[in-house]
Amino acid sequence: MSLPFLKMHGLGNDFVVLDARARAIPLSEQAIRAIADRRTGVGFDQLLMLCPAEGAGEVRMRIWNPDGSEAQSCGNGTRAVALLAMDETGADRIAIETLGGLLKAARAPGGLVTVDMGEPRLEWEDIPLAERMDTRRIDIHIGPIDDPYLVGPAAVSMGNPHAVFFVDDAKKIQLEKVGPLVENHPLFPERANVSFAEIRDPEHATLRVWERSAGATLACGTAACATLVAGVRLGKLNRKAEITLPGGALTIEWRESDGHVLMTGPAETAYRGEFGPHLAALIG
């Protein structure tokens, strides 16, 4: 079976995009893992599938991580799908159905896309955490028990769980060492995306992210949103700020009027492709 795909990215956060609106595309966990392999497959941070809308949206988006697990939300992926769908129809606005809820997107100046990511979830049971605690600083310590070097990250859900550490120098953090420890910490029953934010001033922060199931990433839209929210709650950031990741900058605003988080940034198509026989045989 011939099966085309798109390779897209938002600031280097890369996606394989499949279109299942006209015909169903059954995907097993084995197939997803095979497509995710950057040596023998295509490689991606997330696999995105466009499906027929079931509710108030124009399109429904499903999201999978490289390990085959399904995700509720993906900020950069939402921008990519929004741009794709708007270019198809010529529309300036679109609503996308996700497991995390209905997300509305619109064209922004300079060829950018703004996504309304909705309200952050800040209660411990909504993130979720394994036990009740103040989500502005949760009880996680990394390092020697009497002298930890990372303590008290903020916890935020943007449809997926995030732990956000505010640090003096994000470049010094050993992502490959610390990221998995926090991602798999017992406080996070669904695991967590882990961010390390360095505040430059109230309108600018630098961010490095260890993404749940994907590892170190060039960009993570929901992590940028979670960082802005956490920074506002702790008095470190204004309600609108530029969050710079290794792949580039996103503008994030936590709107006071309705509590919604707006994310603005680019999305691009890298290339169009078609799965080879060994991958196509795993699908369907």
Q: What is the CATH number of the domain that holds 53?
A: 3.10.310.10
**273 and 198 belong to one structural domain:** no
The total of other beta-carbon atoms located within 10 Å of residue 35's CB is 24
Q: What pLDDT does 1 receive? A: 56
Range with the poorest average pLDDT among 23-27, 109-113, 153-157, 227-231: 23-27
What letter would DSSP give residue 234?
T
| Residues 132 and 230 occupy one common structural domain | yes
The pLDDT value given to residue 9: 95
How far apart (Å, rounded) are the C-alpha atoms in residues 73 and 115? 12
Same domain, 146 and 233: yes
**Which amino acids are annotated catalytic?**
74, 220
Average pLDDT estimate for 15-38:
94
Identify the pLDDT of residue 284: 64
Q: What is the pLDDT of residues 194-221, one digit of tens each?
A: 999 999 999 999 999 999 988 999 999 9
pLDDT tens sequence across 29-64: 999 999 999 999 999 999 999 999 999 999 999 999
Query: For the chain, how big is the Rg over CA atoms in Å?
Result: 18
Q: Do 142 and 237 share a domain, yes or no?
A: yes
102 and 190 within one domain = no
User: Do 134 and 232 lie in a common domain?
Assistant: yes
In this structure, the answer to whether residues 18 and 60 fall within a common structural domain is yes
- Give the range of the structural domain holding residue 28, as residue numbers without chain letter: 4-118+267-280
Domain count, the chain: 2
User: What is the model's pLDDT at position 214?
Assistant: 85
99 shares its domain with 159? no
Please count the other Cβ atoms lying within 10 Å of the Cβ belonging to residue 15. Answer: 24
Residue 138 is encoded by which pair of tokens? 């949760």
**How confident is the model over 49-105, as pLDDT tens digits?**
999 999 999 999 999 999 999 988 889 999 999 999 999 999 999 999 999 889 999
pLDDT for residue 147: 86
Whether residue 129 sits in one domain with residue 114: no
- Which residues in the chain belong to E strands, given as ranges? 4-10, 13-19, 46-51, 59-64, 70-71, 93-98, 101-108, 112-116, 141-142, 150-151, 154-157, 161-166, 193-201, 204-211, 215-217, 240-245, 248-254, 261-265, 268-274
Looking up tokens 């197939």 gives 31
User: What is the SS3 assignment for 119?
Assistant: coil
Q: pLDDT tens digits, residue range 161-180? A: 999 999 999 999 999 999 99
Q: Count other C-beta atoms under 10 Å from residue 225's C-beta.
A: 28
Same domain assignment for residues 130 and 65? no
